[in-house]
Amino acid sequence: MLTLEDRYRHYHIRFKRHVISFIVQYETKYKGTWLPVVRYDTEHGFAHRDLLDREGNKKKTPLFAKDYNEVLTFAEYDIKSNWNSYKQAFLGGKGYEGKN
């Protein structure tokens, strides 16, 4: 938990020292329901970030790095450092323009 209304979720699978898949997500409680705000994951066979709005629309951005270990480290740092900025954009409706 980051606050009573903000939480960080993390799940990854490793084989030896190599991350082979992960999901790192920041969620906020909005009108009594937990909603995802930003998610980094390896679904669809590549590392990417999803920015979500209150209606669940996503903007997907591929992430390029030497391996998933590097992306996972970046994702953890980004969410823990910037969750409040993501929340303000999410609540203010300024997260992104357009839909993916």
- Torsion (CA) 6, 86, 64, 69 in degrees, nearest 10: -20
Residue 22, domain member (yes or no): yes
pLDDT digits (tens, 9 = 90+) for 14-65: 999 999 999 999 999 999 999 999 999 999 899 999 999 988 899 999 999 9
Does residue 97 lie within any of the structural domains? no
Q: Which domain holds residue 42?
A: 6-92
Strands, E, within the chain: which ranges?
Answer: 6-15, 18-30, 33-41, 48-52, 58-62
List of residues 6+ apart from 11 with CB closer than 8 A = 22, 23, 24
3-state DSSP call for residue 2? coil
pTM of structure: 0.88
Q: Is residue 98 part of a domain?
A: no
| Residue 57 resides in a domain | yes
Say what the pLDDT of residue 93 is.
65
Q: Three-state DSSP class for 1? A: coil
Tell me how many domains the chain contains: 1
Residue 99 inside a domain? The answer is no
C-alpha 87: how far from chain center: 12
